[in-house]
Amino acid sequence: MIFLEDKKFITVKDFSVSGESFSLLHNEAYDLLKTHPQPSLESLPSYYESEDYISHTDGKRTLFEKMYHLVKSNAIKSKVKLINQWHPEKGTLLDIGAGTGDFLLEAKKQNWITTGIEPNDKAKQIAIQKGVSFGTNLEELADESFDVISMWHVLEHVPNLEEHIATLKRLLKSNGTIIIAVPNFKSYDAKYYKEFWAAYDVPRHLWHFSKTAIRKLFADQNMQLKKVKPMWFDSFYVALLSEKYKNGKMNFVKGFFIGLVSNISGLVKKEFSSHIYIIKKQ
């Protein structure tokens, strides 16, 4: 994929850690945005060093964090239900970006053989204490060893995108399933908040996907997009954070309203705040 600097889409600020500004470059062929400049592999971890990076903790310090974990507990059950629908016989499950391990813990309770990958040591240690098993890295894992590979809001964080997708294919069994959730920059809430849209989350989010981008990226590896599903609660979570970035404080009423409007718009235009993609290896 080639990105040209004269195809700049928008300039976005890192509101949560560094305060730095980044450009988003648009690849028209894939309808994909790339954060520019992308931090080096050595400097990238520093952009995650914040107590407010909620997916790396089990913190419930504020009303917002308590709401997040309440929604998260319900979402986890829905995620496991989804993989059970696509693989009712159960089997081996790899979750990349496992965070504090709650999804894998629930899957393990439902008789999946689980493995996690998590680069953040703090989150990983929390998960290990819960009994979650981890691999060291993707390279050490055997070819065709997983029935399902999941990435819940992780693909947007991966530096070497095309190489990573090729690795997913290598690790997946024949007729296996990849389940990926990512934000959608073509949603109503993205267009409403523009440079304040929290799901841009630069520079931690290195890539910003459309449905076209996911379909084409995986088709390049001879994998087929089978189904796209909405993540209903993401619009509310993202709208609340976007209100904070735009106006300096969370407005729960306004955030709820924009999240609701985004979901209603999604029903019509089929563009939700975040999508779940079900992809099959042929």
pLDDT per residue over 102-123, tens digit each?
Answer: 999 999 999 999 999 999 898 9
**pLDDT score for 54:** 47
Say how far apart CA 96 and CA 243 lie, in whole Å.
Answer: 30
- Fold adopted by 5-281: Rossmann fold (3.40.50)
Say how far apart CA 165 and CA 96 lie, in whole Å.
Answer: 12
Looking at the chain, the whole-number percentage of residues with pLDDT higher than 70 is 90
Q: Which residues contact 3 (CB under 8 A, 6 or more apart)?
A: 25, 26, 27, 34, 36
The predicted model gives 193-200 an average pLDDT of 98
**pLDDT score for 282:** 76
Supply 6's token pair.
């004269």
Would the pLDDT of 178 be above 50? yes
Name which of 14-28, 72-86, 167-181 the model is least confident about.
72-86
What's the half-sphere exposure (Cβ side, CA atoms, 13 Å) at 55?
A: 14
Q: pTM score, two decimals?
A: 0.92
Would the pLDDT of 6 be above 80? no
CA geometry: angle 235, 99, 168, nearest 5 deg: 90
Would the pLDDT of 94 be above 90? yes
**pLDDT score for 68:** 59
- Reference 146, options 116, 110, 186; nearest CA is 116
